[in-house]
Structure 1
Amino acid sequence: MKVTIVAWGREFGMEIGFQESVLSIKRKLEQFLGIPVGGQILSVFGWELVDGLDMEDYPIVSHGTKIDLTLKSLSPQFPHCNKIQITVKFSAKQVTIEVDRTETVRSLKEKIHIVDGTPIRRMSLYFSGIELADDFRNLSEYGISEFSEIIVFLKNMNRLSRENQQTPARKLEIVLQMSSSLINAATIPLEIKDSSTVNELKQLVLSRKILPQDDYLFIHKQRIMRENCSLKWHGVESGDFLYVFRGTVTRGGY
């Protein structure tokens, strides 16, 4: 498909594949414009495209879509840069990941999920023998710094089942943000239990006649949500925005 790259008030076309990664597109731009991959930010409608994902993960990207290219601001105070390299160790391998000191444990889990595919809900992360148990604490609060080693343990399904039984369902106050083609890009506040699946959310919206009968995609934090999984499974919290687009996911492995 052909997309339009928009940078500094100029536009130019680029052919990309439906399965091409964001990182691959950045490498093409590096060859074409001379901008280092690490200095590029690609975004669509204000959403930054994540290096570890490909175009199939972004239903908003199609033939003719405009992708904005901006540059990351480089701080002259390099010694105080918040970016650090950490090592993430699994049972049979290890990977190096770049993170920001101000990132949360949840954000680190999302990056590990992108790199390794490990389900977020099965992860237990440990640093220096201490579990990173609070998803919303910053990494720096746990003393994580350059070259720190994070150990990933996987919870077994029995433990997950017990945790789910012990944790009562909570009511979430979320906001549905419609795409520009749906009811004038309206924002709709909604209250729903975190144990509800995405499909149940869709049926609720349709039953209230908020949207016409059709197929829809729900996106949370730049990821397509799975219909048979709960909002809790997706890490949705009160106050979060869910973006709604017309369409279906047809690729295998979804």
Structure 2
Amino acid sequence: MDIFFEHLSGERFCIEVGFFDTVLEIKEKIQKYQNIPAAAQTLIFNGEVLRDESNVLSSDLVHNSCIQLISSCPEKAATKAESSPPLSPAASRVQLLINIPTSKSQQFPLCMHSRGTIGELKENIYAVMETLSVQQLVLYSDGSELQDHSSLHQSGLLDGSEIDVGFMAGARGTSCFKKLKVMVVLPRCGGKKTAVEVNGSDKVRVLRMELDKLQKCLQFYLPKDGYYFIYKEHMMDEDRSFRWHHVGQGDTIDISPTSISTHWP
């Protein structure tokens, strides 16, 4: 069957694969036909990084499936390096490690020019995740939010820097509202958390709406019979604001089923 592969640039190509071909064997075919080293490839399907040992069948790939292909920065040829002056730190390419908060550990490399902006970085991440809008993405490095207008170099991002992807609740408000990054413990994910940005004045039910939107993308499950939020061991009133509950920057909020008899899907 035929599988399509798409670069971040939007370029596509097609390769024929077998039902029991492993992801590593697919990468080797890409290396053969596209001259991209297998070790430099990251393949992403439906928001998940495909592991080398899995095969077409176990990865739910079907005829005409489209896989995102991300390749790490190519090595500069020796002859080119000799004939060209070295690039300054502000004029080089860097490979960033993007951490996506899903039920499985997800990290993929993304290569960009250091003069590229954080806004452009968001667009490249969106091209991989697809299910979220660029406006919903919030990027963090070492716990600090990255600003769209700043370049990678201005933001202190170097080769190998890790970027954490968070999600913003609704549209950004005016500057008079205090922005909060709250950490929500994802159900059935071994204590894994995801960052969601809200206004301090938002009512807590906004968080419920955002989790409903993110549930499919992040591959976690909410209790079928209902749930409520727990902050500092107390149930939150969803008709009250985060500010009313004294939620602070980076605070953790837990999800609890409405009863102990609640069944998870």
Same structural fold, with TM-score higher than 0.5 when normalized by the shorter chain: no
Q: Calculate the TM-score normalised by the size of structure 2.
A: 0.33
Q: Calculate the TM-score normalised by the size of structure 1.
A: 0.34
